[in-house]
Amino acid sequence: MSRQVFTKDKIDEASGEFKSVRKKIKEIHRTIIYQMIRSYKSEYVDNNGLSVSIYKHNTQEKVAIFVKDKEKVYYVFDMQPDLQREIDDSQYCKLDSDDEYHLRQISSILNTYCDSGDEIELTSDEYRHFRIVAKSLNITINLLLKRLGYKQSVKYNDKRLLTQEELLDKLRKFVLDDGITVSLPSQNNEAQSLRLYASRSNMSIADYVRSLGFKYKLRENENEANKNALISEIKSKYIVEDSYIYISPYDRFYKNMYVRARRQGKTIDQFLNELGFERLLLNQLPENYEPYDWIQDIKNVGNDIDFKKEIEKSFVYNGRVYIPSKHYFYDQLFYHALLQKKSINEKLKEWGFVRTYSRPKEYILETEESGISPIKLNLLSEIKNIQKKIRLKKFNGETVVRSRELTDKLKKLYNYQCQVCGPESDTIVMENGCNYVEIHHITPLHNAKVAEDEEDLEFDNYRNLICLCPFHHKYVHYHKGGNYKLNRERSKLINSKGEELRIIIDFHLK
């Protein structure tokens, strides 16, 4: 959704579906918007023709509000001070669509415990939803409940937690010569287990180390190497003058910088300032300056026929196309259109589609009922259909037949995100604009040679696969012997030594 869509007094029937557009919203709408912000909701629909959508900016902590009241449409891009304060105080922009799913689960869980007194003891699966949202907001779980308007508190007793002394013993292995500063290497299994432990406690590793009475410091050689590589690339492509730089927000390098900054709790400008650069906006560039042509870095991401088929199959609602802007397909379509020097809307029109910017009611209702979007439900259905076509695997000598189509669909189901890291996973962006992930066989393929139960030979069954980032793929193979097995009920990967990895996102394993 952009300002350009609403620059006219009326939206054309062929591209917008609404007749009247107004900038000011009514007081009754404001009341609903306040309630949505306070409960971290992005959609509201009633039975009287009123729908409210709050859209978050892709790269900035800003929102746009879109209200449809019967045939009239109201919108706000520039928030009034009271609304902006509510958005800032609630940290509304820090939550994404995955967090909204977990919030719906939290509401459902709390409704089942409404008569359980002031303190609720949760199962591990229930607790996971609370932990993920609290981590996104960088607050405690009980403060999250207070913000949501619940008076109860929750607890979760994990008998597998290490004692404070056991944690201190682990940390002491990485204390520097001063006896108080901890520095963790990036490729060490024990160091990574401490990072995972910090994550489960809703803390950054730096804050976690400090909470145990130590100082924290990044490894200088690793940190400096990463920093120097970034500085070198910026200087080779994006310098305008002296330390001033310009990086197009559509450039994939910008996306990498944004992800790095967000992981450190910084804005992209703060991140670049620490590298010694000052970012300019497009309207601040000198008249004769030619920005770096980042389009040359884009490779062909597909053809018109494949894109059209994918839209028809997954993104059409009541004759109109709705593509969530955070979906990987949106980026691919954007770059595909760009290579032809066209916009997404121009390509859609060329293919005979009509686009809508408002989330269709069917999309909202189906998401609320199932916990995942219709797009993911459709992909899951396709995965199951592919599975039916895969014959039971028989092995001829050393050959194992594998389904590339199945693994490709599974990556799409998770929007090219690691199921263990979740939305905050480290990002390697490929030439086609998607994040790099790998598919892991939970029961290894080499076990096929010793399998006795015929069902165990179906190793490309989608329920034997999990989508992981490169680090966690190596982790489950080699950390303390590897050989991690899936505990479906607990949503965890566990090896014979009791090491555990919690699965943050799961649409297909349970």
Considering the domain architecture, whether residues 388 and 474 belong to the same structural domain is answered as yes
Considering the domain architecture, whether residues 464 and 421 belong to the same structural domain is answered as yes
Q: Is 290 within the bounds of a domain?
A: no
pTM over 0.85: no
Binning pLDDT at 50, 70 and 90, where does residue 155 land? Answer: confident
For the chain, state the CA radius of gyration.
25
Considering the domain architecture, whether residues 387 and 467 belong to the same structural domain is answered as yes
pLDDT of residue 455: 40
pLDDT of residue 448: 46
Considering the domain architecture, whether residues 150 and 194 belong to the same structural domain is answered as no
Q: Write the DSSP assignment of 371-424 as a string of letters.
A: SS-HHHHHHHHHHHHHHHHSPPP--BTTB----HHHHHHHHHHTTT--TTTGGG
Considering the domain architecture, whether residues 385 and 480 belong to the same structural domain is answered as yes
Considering the domain architecture, whether residues 422 and 489 belong to the same structural domain is answered as yes
Q: Is 308 within the bounds of a domain?
A: yes
Minimum mean pLDDT among 45-49, 51-55, 218-222, 235-239: which range?
218-222
347 vs 226, more confident: 347
Number of structural domains in the chain:
6
Considering the domain architecture, whether residues 276 and 383 belong to the same structural domain is answered as no
The Cα 507–Cα 17 span in angstroms is 33
pLDDT of residue 273: 92
pLDDT of residue 64: 87
Considering the domain architecture, whether residues 490 and 393 belong to the same structural domain is answered as yes
Mean pLDDT of 439-458: 57
Q: Is 182 within the bounds of a domain?
A: yes
Q: Is 507 within the bounds of a domain?
A: no
Question: Of the candidates 54, 77, 94, which is a domain's last residue?
Answer: 94
pLDDT tens column, 257-268: 887 777 666 788
pLDDT of residue 9: 44
pLDDT tens column, 95-111: 876 777 788 888 888 87
Structural domain including 88 reads: 3-94
Considering the domain architecture, whether residues 16 and 54 belong to the same structural domain is answered as yes
Question: Of the candidates 42, 72, 94, which is a domain's last residue?
Answer: 94
pLDDT of residue 350: 94
Residue 463 burial by CB count (10 A; 0-12/13-18/19+): exposed, middle or buried? Answer: middle
Question: Of the candidates 105, 132, 155, which is a domain's last residue?
Answer: 155
The whole-chain average pLDDT of the chain stands at 77
The Cα 64–Cα 431 span in angstroms is 31
Q: Is 288 within the bounds of a domain?
A: no
Find out whether 25 and 74 touch, Cβ atoms under 8 Å. Answer: yes
Mean pLDDT of 178-204: 74
Q: Is 469 within the bounds of a domain?
A: yes
Find out whether 495 and 484 touch, Cβ atoms under 8 Å. Answer: yes
Considering the domain architecture, whether residues 60 and 82 belong to the same structural domain is answered as yes
Considering the domain architecture, whether residues 143 and 33 belong to the same structural domain is answered as no
Distant-in-sequence, close-in-space partners of 466: CB < 8 Å, separation ≥ 6: 419, 439, 440, 442, 486, 493, 503, 509
The Cα 226–Cα 116 span in angstroms is 51
Considering the domain architecture, whether residues 266 and 334 belong to the same structural domain is answered as no
Q: Is 438 within the bounds of a domain?
A: yes
Q: Is 367 within the bounds of a domain?
A: no
